[in-house]
Structure 1
Amino acid sequence: MKVLVVGNGGREHALAWKIKQSPLVKELYCAKGNAGIWQIARKVDISPTDIKNLVKFAKEEKIDLTVVGPEQPLSEGIVDAFEEAGLKIFGHRRSSAILEASKVFAKNFMKKYGIPTAFYETFDNENEAVEFVKKMGTPIVIKADGLAAGKGVVIANSEEEAVNTIKDMFGGRFGEASKRIVIEEFLTGEEASYIAMVKGDKLVPMATSQDHKRVFDNDKGPNTGGMGAYSPAPLVTPEIEKEILEKIMYPTLRGMQSEGRELCGFLYAGLMIGEKGINVLEFNVRMGDPETQPIMRRLKSDLVEHIMDILEGRIESVKPEWSEDYSIGVVMASAGYPGKYEKGKVITGIEDAEKDPDIVVFHAGTDIKDGNLVTSGGRVLTVTATGKTLTEAKEKVYRAVEKIHFEGAHYRRDIGDKGIKRLKQLGIE
Structure 2
Amino acid sequence: MKLAVVGGGSTYTPELVDGFARLRDTLPVTELVLVDPAADRLELVGGLARRILARRGHGARVVTTDDLEAGADGADAVLLQLRVGGQAARERDETWPLECGCVGQETTGAGGLAKALRTVPVVLDIAERVRRTNPRAWIVDFTNPVGIVTRALLRAGHRAVGLCNVAIGLQRKFAALLEVAPADVHLDHVGLNHLTWETGVRLGGPDGADVLPRLLAEHGAAIAAGLRLPPELLERLGVVPSYYLRYYYAHDEVVAQQRGEPSRAAEVARMERELLAMYGDPALDEKPALLAKRGGAYYSEAAVDLTAALLGGERAGPYQVVNTYNNGTLPFLDDDAVIEVPAAVGPKGPAPLPVPAVDPLHAGLIAHVAAYEELALRAALHGGRNRVFRALLAHPLVGRYATAEALTDRLLAHNREYLPWA
Q: Please, what TM-score do these two structures have when normalized by structure 1?
A: 0.28
Q: Please, what TM-score do these two structures have when normalized by structure 2?
A: 0.29
Structure with the larger RCO, 1 or 2 (CA within 8 Å, 6+ apart): 2
Higher strand share: 1
